Chains A and B, each alone.
Chain A
Amino acid sequence: MNKGLKKLTKRNEPYIFLVVLALALLIQFRSGQFFTGNNLVDIASAMVVPGLFAVGTFMVILSGGIDVSFPALASLTSYATTKMLLDAGYTGGIWLPILISLSLGAALGAFNGYFIGFLGLPALIVTLGTSSVFKGVMQGALNSVQLATIPPGMQAFGTSSLFVASNPLSGLTSRMPVAFLVFASVLLVSFLILRYTFLGRGIYAIGGNEVSAHRAGFNTRRTKFLLYVFVGMMASLAGLIRTCMMQQNHPTNMLGMEMNIIAGVVLGGTAITGGTGSLTGCMLGTLLIVIVENSMILIGIPTIWKSVFVGALIIIGTGVSAWQVFRANRVAKVRFFRKEVPTI
């Protein structure tokens, strides 16, 4: 086996990719509808919001932390932004809403970041707490109700499309939302941060071993703080896009998304303990979850069995990657005893 291929088989991503492919073939076989232009566009469009959430969750888990507050954060910022602009009778474009939600997201993220980074409290407890606080502020202080209309600029952004894919056979058309570009750029920025900046390397280092990272010269407190600010901004962006795409704001309907997002990230091979994982894997894991959630009817799984099937797929997916890691470790150990240098 050549070195490149050997290296590839040790990674997690190819296995997840195979699972995704197998699922796609199953759907194609059962419905004949998977590899049609409009279905692929549907999946890309359904991927935008979970994808944005997943990028943030991925970076947090990478740093050895966890964030369960992002759906509440996104709900609060998107509700506050929409409500504020509606009350002000705003009729302009999408940039101001984006700016407002990003700043709100940064502020709320800083709240998380302060407790986790500077006070050193456990991330799970902090974000569980802030999740309640965000929900409480939204429902109590802001008195949230469903907003049936959104400012015209947001409405236009939500319905505007890059292109429209149509299925020649059924005549069905699907829009590729402009919001997909936002998702793509966030993905690019995150990739660059993780790959080329001190902050990005710091996230990996802290996730691997915080004490060592600190001694090696990383400012762990500031890195963590900035990380949660960045994640808060991404979550708020996702919330705003969701509102635009749905053409209305339901304050509560993103709550509870955290479980599937975290599952997707872990499915993509990110170690829940932090330190290892790739953006590619994270996206593949999320893609798998999105496809599964949006294809139960296409496959023909009866509604009452849906949860069982989704759960089983998550277990199979993580099982494949866990087995892969286990095998890699065993090979590495054997090599170690034979005094060979492991090539990881």
Chain B
Amino acid sequence: MKRTLSLVLCALLLVSLLGTSLAEKKDWEIVVVPKDASNPWFVHMKTGVDEYAQKHGVNAYQKGTAEIDATLQAQLIADLIAQGVDAICVVPVNPESLEPVLKQAMDAGIVVIAHEGATLTNVHYDIEAFSNEQYGAFIMDNLAEAMGEEGLYTTMVAHVTNASHNEWADGGVAHQKAVYPKMTLLEAEPRVESEDNGDVAYNKAKELFKKYPDLKGIMGTSSYDAPGIARAIEELGLVGKVFTSGTGLPLANKAILESGIVKSLTLWDSALAGQAMVSLALKVLNGEEITAPVDLGVDGYMALTFKPGSDKVLEGQGWVVINKENVDSFGF
């Protein structure tokens, strides 16, 4: 009696296990792991992912740790591997420290997509919102528009040793030389440092405007640059005569955009980046071949191309412009 009972129970257990695993395969489970769950940037990413999941009927959701911590992020991914999800899309806190756990994920047959992790090797693909060079050109377009496409300008980076900022600035300068012949780079001071500090950006801008009265524009790169420069423009009484543009977060810069000190800032949209990751994960899961240009059906990610020399890093055109009209639409 006991034996039959236990056999029946075992059989039931097996059937239920099979049942669940069969059910799972009908619907891919895609998890987006941001750097943390509370940062407004990633809260916005979550709204994008949720929207995509609902619109396309995909079982995709975002799950983040309570705080930005590389170890916690690795643990979360290990948990997801144990759960047997189908794809993990990750924005790494620290790419290097994530490699071992991502390798485990790939060994377990999970599709791994990264965002802002171009140095990762244990991924199927990494999506970058844009190539640094093209983003720099985009900032330059915004600056040129504000400056009326003429006049003397210079560039500001956090540190001259910062790779991405300097690639943006180089890209911007190259674009100016190619497209805006009436603009000139301030040769005596072609690149100044803001040390990723709004107060330093402000003081440097004041110095620049004092020393070079002809200076008409500053291209910012770090998100502290343009706001700091704007403060200097306002205080020195140069509104409407001198201009700046650069990376900036919408809400933090609402005041300077609405008052017209700064006409436009540039950024990429975390919600769209989240959607692009999920979309790419779906493509890989469905066994589609990924060949450039890749169309993910997400704004700014319609024609991704591989970064030169890489078969993993895909670059989009995912920049957005922020001006007084759309500044309230981001939620961060």
Contact B207 A148 (CB under 8 A): no
Q: A146 near B: Cβ within 8 Å?
A: yes
Q: How many residues of B contact A (CB 8 A)?
A: 37
Residue B235 CB within 8 A of the other chain: yes
- Residues in A whose Cβ lies below 8 Å from that of B21: none
Cβ-defined partner of A297 (8 Å) among B189, B199, B237: B189
Cα of A338 to Cα of B38 in the assembled complex, Å: 74
B188 touches A300 (CB 8 A): yes
On whether the beta carbons of B197 and A303 are closer than 8 Å, the reply is: no
B320 lies within 8 A of chain A by Cβ: no
Is chain B's binding surface mostly helix, strand, loop or mixed? helix
- Give bound CA distance, A300 to B231, whole Å: 23
Of all chain B residues, the one with the shortest Cβ separation from A170 is B213
- B119-166 contacts to A (CB < 8 Å): 160
Q: Are B252 and A253 in contact (CB under 8 A)?
A: no
A31-B211, A148-B253 are contacts. A250–B198 as well, Cβ < 8 Å? yes
**Number of interface residues, chain A, beta carbon within 8 A:** 38
Assess the B210–A172 pair: CB atoms within 8 A: yes
**In the complex the two chains form, is A33's CB within 8 Å of B211's CB?**
yes
Q: A242-B199, A248-B198, A253-B197 are in contact. Are A173 and B207 (CB under 8 A)?
A: no
- Inter-subunit contact A31/B210 (CB<8 Å): yes
Q: A303 and B160 in contact (CB under 8 A), knowing A39-B210, A143-B38, A250-B198?
A: yes
Bitwise interface map of B from 194 to 233 toward A, beta carbon under 8 Å scored 1, else 0: 0011110011101111110100000000001001000100
Task: Let me know if A306 and B207 touch, CB within 8 A.
Answer: no
CB pair B207–A295 under 8 Å, yes or no, is yes
Residue of B at shortest CB range from A304? B160
Instruction: Assess whether B193 is in contact with A303, with CB atoms less than 8 Å apart.
Output: yes
**Residue among A170, A253, A300, A303 with the highest chain B CB neighbour number at 10 A:** A303
- List of A residues within 8 angstroms of B198 by Cβ: 246, 248, 250, 253
Contacts of A250 in B (CB 8 A): 197-198, 224
Q: B39 touching A145 by the CB < 8 A rule?
A: yes
Binary per-residue interface labels of chain A (241-258) against chain B in the complex, 1 for a CB within 8 Å, 0 otherwise: 010001110100100000
Q: A10 at interface (Cβ–Cβ under 8 A)?
A: no
Residues of chain B in range 241-265 having any CB-CB distance to chain A below 8 Å: 249, 251-255
How far apart are the CA atoms of A248 and B251 in the complex, in Å? 12
Residue of B nearest to A245 (CB): B199
- Which A residue's beta carbon lies closest to that of B40? A145
**B238 and A172: CB pair below 8 A?**
yes
Q: Is there an interface contact between B203 and A306, defined as CB atoms closer than 8 Å? A: no
CB pair A306–B193 under 8 Å, yes or no, is yes
A296-320: contact bitstring with B at CB < 8 Å (1 yes, 0 no)?
Answer: 1110101110100000000000000
A298 contacts B236, CB within 8 Å? no
User: Chain A contacts of B196 at CB under 8 A?
Assistant: 253
Docked pose: A250 CA to B206 CA in angstroms:
20
Judge whether B67 is part of the interface by a CB distance below 8 angstroms. yes
Interface assignment of A175: CB less than 8 Å from any CB of chain B: yes
A167 CB to nearest chain B CB (Å): 8
Which of chain B's residues have a CB closer than 8 A to the CB of A304?
A: 160
- Is the CB–CB distance between A46 and B252 below 8 Å? no
For A273-296 the 0/1 string (1 means CB < 8 A from B) is 000000000000000000001111
B192 touches A148 (CB 8 A): no
Complex: how many Å from CA A300 to CA B187?
Answer: 12
B191 within 8 A of A: yes
B237 x A171 contact (CB < 8 A): yes
- Asked whether A168 is an interface residue with its Cβ less than 8 Å from the other chain, the reply is no
Query: What residues of chain A lie closer than 8 Å to B231, measured between beta carbons?
Result: 246-247
B252 pairs with A248, CB closer than 8 A: yes
Task: Check: A140 CB closer than 8 A to any chain B CB.
Answer: yes
Closest to B66 in A: A143
In the complex, A302 Cα to B236 Cα: how many Å? 24
Cross-chain contact B40 with A246 (CB below 8 angstroms): no
Q: Chain B, 81-103, contact with A by CB distance < 8 Å: what is the 0/1 string?
A: 00000000000000000000000
Q: Can you name 24 A-B pairs with beta carbons within 8 Å?
A: A42-B206, A140-B67, A143-B38, A146-B249, A148-B251, A167-B210, A172-B210, A173-B235, A175-B235, A242-B199, A246-B202, A246-B231, A247-B231, A247-B255, A248-B227, A293-B203, A295-B207, A297-B192, A297-B208, A298-B207, A303-B191, A303-B192, A303-B193, A306-B193
